Structure 1
């Protein structure tokens, strides 16, 4: 990755981390004020109004500790990328290996699944909770999920288009270059190994949507919402989602995508809808990358 772009990602992720910490502190101060803020507390803090608790289980400080640990883990990965990029220098960075091997892809998927499993266990199973209550895995009829998913895709592509326009204006990148694309995309474009492509497709269409949505929309968002405010939690969770993909060109589009996914999770009260939307989005993108690779 270009050192300047790595620096941008690192600085935005730092601002995101600082913003979350400050937000938690400010909302905590606001919350402990006496009667003056009673209406606010009754509206947004579940212990004051039992009927609005969502998810069904009580989110507590241990959940917040888990979420902060997750955020620090993601931040450490971005920081590591930044420092590694700066250590090798701009000239060497442009020549660095950008393709993924099959073993690297499988290892990446394995680590991703392990991280997801650890979070899943800590937040639910190890504490005697029902996963469907913790992560929004509520039963919804397939017809409802597909209907809302189809409606959501209109919002997804509208928001991503707006994000792309804003990115082009701010970054003035012109036509996309292969070196600006993510490793996984560059691998799809340049590597003809069938098993590798299948592994990447499964990762993009099945593993990533499932794990990312459970972590971000299913857990980080409701926990931050519980201790702050829905709008603040939506923005911070979406920004975090965007920066962990470590791609400057798609940063704004991913941010808008994440906001739409969060809104539909909030609207439907089921994580299955954003999982479907995320899967379709990745699947369509993968199809076009493979179909029109010569044009990129």
Structure 2
């Protein structure tokens, strides 16, 4: 791994650890406690993305020299297909996790960050866009890409997905992270363009934002109404 990539990783780690400084700092300015996680995450994620982009400027300038890089038309096709593949992989892996492995439905990590977004709406940009961009750069371009130079595709994808799950503190959904990591890694290897898995990842997170944040309360109301209807109908059948 190049020295530049090590600095990218250090920046990403520092972003996560920065809460130990940022949270007490915001408390000094009497920022409401429930808004602090969303505010500081928005600041730290945005700053980290800017720093990492600067660090990767040589890669950006030399991207056309990458051997086997797909054309723009192929990249567009794989971006669309990648979104479909990611959703299929997620659905199948969640089904296996919940109905076969007995994992409780609902990711605690997703619920936690969705709550941050409800309290501080600007954090939605981090969930839907900035977060996926950072994660694809870190876990696909840097970690998976470096491992893929030494190991085969399966080993590189497995290791990177395990690290991905650990960072999200959601090991119950390890299978889901692994399935998605395989899809995103495949898209990256197939096209040699990090933008392709980024698009698929952004699309998935945007849907998660719509489901859990924007329409979350409405879906809860519909679920409660459905439960009431089922209870009402059940009363006639008893």
TM bin, normalised by shorter chain, reads: 0.5 to 0.7
Q: Deviations over 1:92-130 (max 9, x none)?
A: xxxxxxxx84442131132234444444555x45xxx34
1:284 equivalent in structure 2: 207
Aligned length: 201
1:15 equivalent in structure 2: none
1:230 equivalent in structure 2: 153
Q: State the secondary structure of the residue aligned to 1:228.
A: coil
Counterpart Cα distance in 1 of 2:62 and 2:157: 20
Q: Choose which of 125, 131, 134 in structure 1 pairs with 2:60.
A: 131
Is residue 111 of structure 2 the alignment partner of residue 111 of structure 1? no
Q: Which runs of 4+ in 1 moved over 6 A?
A: none
**Conserved 8 A contact 1:160-1:256:** yes
Q: State the secondary structure of the residue aligned to 2:169.
A: coil
TM norm structure 1: 0.56
1:51 equivalent in structure 2: none
Counterpart Cα distance in 1 of 2:109 and 2:199: 27
1:247 equivalent in structure 2: 170
Is residue 188 of structure 2 the alignment partner of residue 265 of structure 1? yes
Alpha carbons of structure 1 residues 145 and 103: separation in structure 2 relative to 1, 3 Å = farther
Alpha carbons of structure 1 residues 70 and 163: separation in structure 2 relative to 1, 3 Å = farther
2:123 equivalent in structure 1: 200
Counterpart Cα distance in 2 of 1:249 and 1:237: 16
Counterpart Cα distance in 1 of 2:34 and 2:62: 38
TM norm structure 2: 0.68
2:111 equivalent in structure 1: 182
Counterpart Cα distance in 2 of 1:279 and 1:225: 23
Q: Choose which of 129, 150, 154 in structure 1 pairs with 2:84.
A: 154
Alpha carbons of structure 1 residues 109 and 133: separation in structure 2 relative to 1, 3 Å = farther
**Conserved 8 A contact 2:11-2:48:** no
Counterpart Cα distance in 1 of 2:45 and 2:75: 25
Query: Which residues of structure 1 form unaligned runs of 5+?
Result: 1-58, 81-99
Q: Choose which of 101, 115, 131 in structure 2 pairs with 1:170.
A: 101
Alpha carbons of structure 1 residues 255 and 214: separation in structure 2 relative to 1, 3 Å = same
Q: State the secondary structure of the residue aligned to 1:171.
A: coil
2:231 equivalent in structure 1: none
Alpha carbons of structure 1 residues 209 and 68: separation in structure 2 relative to 1, 3 Å = closer
Query: Which residues of structure 2 form unaligned runs of 5+?
Result: 21-32, 225-238
Counterpart Cα distance in 2 of 1:132 and 1:163: 37
**Conserved 8 A contact 2:109-2:168:** no
Counterpart Cα distance in 2 of 1:70 and 1:240: 16
